[in-house]
């Protein structure tokens, strides 16, 4: 059987130019830019990235950390006690805050003698900086939440400015991603649960 040599065909730059090489190059760049823009829009529709500014969530979240927010969490579910959320501050909608959900619609929240009670049950809160030094009682109506910072005595939150309308909520904090040394999934073990 006779073997034939394998031919390798190459084209010169002039031939590539004539065959539309530059057109293909610019089309590839346009497709890459279009795909990047689409991915950017989808990712921003599903999530947000925020920087923690201040100390109101110490010791759970530190000043300067970057947190990933799930924007869809409450489109398909409802807030739960213990969730850490980001929201538009009701008194200044251009400012976003991050706090922990303590009271849900229908709950009665009481701060008394250094404890937080929800519907008469003391919360077990190993994540707070110190027991609250303030007192008060709040009933949470439908469509609202009662939120507090983990640094109870250095936080502007529901105990000082009132209840949070749920339509101000941006999403649920799910991950600390920067700095890398602080990387942490914000899990259920860190959430407020009523003592059993």
- Which residues are identified as catalytic? 56, 99
- DSSP secondary structure of 18-46: HTTHHHHHHHHHHHHHHHHHHHHHHHHHH
Nearest-CA neighbor of 169 among 81, 82, 72? 72
Taking alpha carbons only, the member of 59, 87, 62 closest to residue 73 is: 87
């Amino acid at each position: 059987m006779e073997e034939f040599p394998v031919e390798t065909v190459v084209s010169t730059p002039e031939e590539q130019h004539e065959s539309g090489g530059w057109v293909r190059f610019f089309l590839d760049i346009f497709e890459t830019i279009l795909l990047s823009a689409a991915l950017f829009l989808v990712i921003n529709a599903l999530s947000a990235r925020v920087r923690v500014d201040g100390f109101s969530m110490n010791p759970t979240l530190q000043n300067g950390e970057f947190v990933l927010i799930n924007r869809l969490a409450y489109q398909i579910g409802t807030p739960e006690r213990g969730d850490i959320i980001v929201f538009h501050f009701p008194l200044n909608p251009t400012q976003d805050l991050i706090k922990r959900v303590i009271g849900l619609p229908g709950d009665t929240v009481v701060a008394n003698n250094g404890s937080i009670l929800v519907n008469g049950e003391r919360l077990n809160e190993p994540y707070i900086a110190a027991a609250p030094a303030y007192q008060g009682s709040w009933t949470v109506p439908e469509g609202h939440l009662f939120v507090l910072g983990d640094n109870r005595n250095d936080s502007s939150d529901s105990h000082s400015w009132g209840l949070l309308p749920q339509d101000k909520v941006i999403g649920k904090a799910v991950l600390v991603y920067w700095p890398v040394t602080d990387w942490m999934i914000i899990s259920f073990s860190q959430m407020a649960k009523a003592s059993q």
